[in-house]
Structures are given as structure tokens and as C-alpha cells.
Structure 1
């Protein structure tokens, strides 16, 4: 049972699955994220005792769930004060350099990891032509969902010529940088490139993978990067627009100036 703004009892019941083997705190955390994304807490976030009553769980269970929400930057909970919804965590990326999504996420204070959806050899005539290769040339393909905290941030797809990058098939990309692995295994480092960035509506599959809020747009980023005078990487990344921003600097004297990214050799 919960209470409305006038203090009157309502019959809303909130239940967790106590027989499925999944920790109650994790179920509660996921339920609170769902309600937060739906806008239920825009006015006020419930306190610990209210959550204990609503979900019929222990205070320890509630505190574990709230601790994860704090770690993910979704709520702010100061000692002695009721939790409140935080401004959505934003990963800010300077433009104009070969940047690191890996480094940008960790610089924001959120832990990053990836779920690898594909890592294999394949042929793709369209991508091969973008890399200046014959259509039948085998390519190393890596597809990952990139996480910032406990929430997805980006869907990342990368193609590289197998002739130089086949050793990457042995790498574990769940928590490592592609460019760091490329340098360690092949000695190659990207030295320049071009990106095209557009704001688009995600497909239904992308929206589901990235847990995009209803109506939120994404950044669609295509990158062609070179090393030692030849194209080496074609990358397509879809990034949640509510969690990611691009930044550049300008002044009256210098005009528009793109800002190099710190640690820009890793991605």
C-alpha cells in the first residue's frame, strides 16, 4: 500500500519476485530505474522507509538498490537527506581529435564495460570500398554495447582489414580499448581521420539495446580513421543523446577552435 500527496492510502501494490533466485535488491534497482525513466519521480523520489513499505523488503535491500542508483549517477543521496533524482549523467567529448569513448566514460566518474555481441571475420563489400579494399577482402568485425555505469551508452560497430588486425580476434573487449589492443598486437596507431555526426531517431532494435527513453534521439557517428597513410578503421557508433554531448571551444580572437581530447589515442 502507498500514499498519495494528501496522505491518503492507495491500493497500489509493488511486488518483487521472491522465488526466482534473483537478488531482491537488484530487482528493486531495476524497477526504480524503470519508474525513473517513465518520469514517476520527476517531482519527488521516495525515501527509504517509503520503499520498504511499498515493496515489503528490508531496509538493507533498499539501501543496496539505492547504492547502485547512486553509483550509476541516477540519484543523489546525501547523508541525512531524502534521495533526489540527479541530472542525467553526461559524457562530454571534445571534438577534433581521435578520442576515447573508453577514457571519456571513466573521466566522467562512471565505470565502463562492454557486452561483445560479435567478434569475427567477415566480408562486406560496402565497408571494404570505404577502406579502399576489394569487396571480397576479409575484415575483422567487432560489435559491442558500451556501458557507462549500469546503463547502456552506445552501440559500437568496427571493421578493420584482417590482413593487419586478425590478431584482435584473441582479445577480450569486455573491458579494454580497441586502439590499445591494436597498438599492442600490431604496433599500429591511428594518426588521423574524419567523422560525420548526425542526430537521428534510433531503430526499435537500437532503442531496446540502449534502453533509450521514449522520444530520445541518438547520435549516429561514422568514422574513417587512418594509420601510416592508409585507411585502417571504419566505425559506426550509435550513442544515446541523453547521456552524451560534443564540445568545442571558440573565442572572439581565435574563432572556432576544436579541442583535442585528453588520452585521445584510445577508444
Structure 2
């Protein structure tokens, strides 16, 4: 385990920077085979054990890392959902259900949008990458997804073929961005004429409208608006460590 690179301590407390770095590493799957103890982490980061303990406290409280007395700590798969609600991927959700996922890109262009920029805490004239996709499961349309991202951080995504890949995967691998938290609102609605046109559903069919602001290390990096057919999708969230199985 090499010495990790951290944000400057002048920006935030050192323990907080270490905690954010560990959260990124957990989310990327680095510790799937075992999570280091406090002494090993203190040596790796070159800090005191007390600093490591402070960094681990929020990770333990939110379920990223187990904290059971007498047992070796471990990273919790699905800890992101425990900490922040369902920081999920539609791509992964479809794949995990055993269906084939495919996306049709409806729009991908650089835009200026003062309202979306404000949601991302950016200046009104900030350039954004807008990506709109029709989402299909086993070739049946079930959602339309609109995403706005800070263009200066995601330019490598301009040439990605999104037909059979996940946005979060490409963000992580091409841009070094892991969505590790967020604010999300889910509300019930009915299908509009535009939903009927794109999703082939009946006018007034039940829908989920989901708005999300995704964060990387406390900075907003994603504004997402998803329109999902209620009859073709369900949302299940887990919370806390050691949750067995499904409902």
C-alpha cells in the first residue's frame, strides 16, 4: 500500500482529507479483499493513529467500514447506499437483474445553462457537458436520463460510446472522478406526451422522476434528471452494515 496523494491540508482538516481518500478507495473496490488496520493506515499516510481514528469515524458510522470489536475491519460492499442513499447506476441495476442493458444517446453537446450551473455551484456561464440517453433493458425502453457535468472536468467523455457502458465507470476510469455522495429527490408522477413518444407508454402511466446532484469529495460533479417508467422499475435501498440478502 503506497503513500496516497491527498488534498492540501490548508483546504480541509487532514483527517477529513484522509477520510475522503479512503472513501474513494473503498468505492473503487481497492479493499475488497480486506481493509487495513489503524496502525497500517497510520504508517501508510504518515500520520498518528488518532488522526486515522478520526478519519475512520464517519466511514464506520455510515457503513463504509465495519467496526465490530474483536474482528478485522472490512470494507462494506454497498456502503455508498448506507451513507448517501441510493448512489446507484441504472446500467448496473439492469445488469444485476439479468437483463441486457443498452443506451441510445439522444444528445451529447457542450452547453451553457445558468440554472443547471447554479445547481452545480458553478458560474452562470460555465460550460457543461449535457448527455441525454434513452435506457433500454432487453431492448425495451424504460427510462430517459439527462445529465449535466462540468465540461472542464469531463472532456474525455466527449468521444465515449455510451451504448453499452456506465457513466460512472467512464467518469472513474477516464476522468478520475468517483461519485461518492449525493442529494436525491424521487417523486411519483404520470407520463407526459414526451414520455409517451420516447418510452412508448400510455399517457398518464405512473412514472418516477428522480433528480440527483452527485458529489466527488464534497464538490458537485453531476446534475441528473431521470424519468423512469414505474411499471418497469423499482428502487431498493440498504442501510447499515451486515444487512443480509434481499427483501
Contact residue 190 and residue 203 of structure 2 kept, 8 A = no
Contact residue 248 and residue 258 of structure 1 kept, 8 A = no
Contact residue 145 and residue 155 of structure 1 kept, 8 A = yes
Q: Which residue of the partner structure matches residue 14 of structure 2?
A: none
Q: Give the structure with the larger strand fraction.
A: 1
Say whether residues 1:222 and 2:211 are aligned partners. yes
Q: Which residue of the partner structure matches residue 122 of structure 2?
A: 133
Instruction: Describe the superposition over 1:14-42 as per-residue Cα deviations: whole angstroms up to 9, x where unpaired.
Output: xxxxxxxxxxxxxxxxxxxxxxxxxxxxx
Q: Please identify runs of 4+ aligned residues in structure 1 that moved more than 6 A.
A: 258-261
Instruction: Describe the superposition over 1:195-214 as per-residue Cα deviations: whole angstroms up to 9, x where unpaired.
Output: 10011112201122111135
Residue 110 to residue 126, structure 1, CA distance change in 2 (3 Å): same
Aligned residues: 161
Residue 260 to residue 112, structure 1, CA distance change in 2 (3 Å): farther
Deviation at 1:129, TM superposition (A): 0.2
Task: Please give the alpha-carbon distance, in whole angstroms, between the structure 2 residues aligned to 1:213 and 1:109.
Answer: 26
What TM-score, normalized to structure 2? 0.61
Query: After the TM superposition, which residues 147-226 of structure 1 pair with which residues of structure 2 at under 5 Å, given as runs?
Result: 147-226=136-215
Instruction: Describe the superposition over 1:207-264 as per-residue Cα deviations: whole angstroms up to 9, x where unpaired.
Output: 2211113542110000001002210000000000000112246xxxxxxx47999xxx
Say whether residues 1:106 and 2:86 are aligned partners. no
Deviation at 1:186, TM superposition (A): 1.1
Q: Secondary structure at the match of 2:178?
A: coil
Q: Secondary structure at the match of 2:183?
A: strand
Which sections of structure 2, spanning at least 5 residues, go unmatched? Answer: 1-80
Residue 160 to residue 109, structure 1, CA distance change in 2 (3 Å): same
What TM-score, normalized to structure 1? 0.57
Which sections of structure 1, spanning at least 5 residues, go unmatched? Answer: 1-93, 250-256, 262-267
Q: Larger relative CO (CA 8 A, sep 6+): 1 or 2?
A: 1
Higher Cα radius of gyration: 1
Q: Which residue of the partner structure matches residue 117 of structure 1?
A: 106
Contact residue 223 and residue 234 of structure 1 kept, 8 A = yes
Task: Please give the alpha-carbon distance, in whole angstroms, between the structure 1 residues aligned to 2:229 and 2:136.
Answer: 11
Q: Give the structure with the larger helix fraction.
A: 2
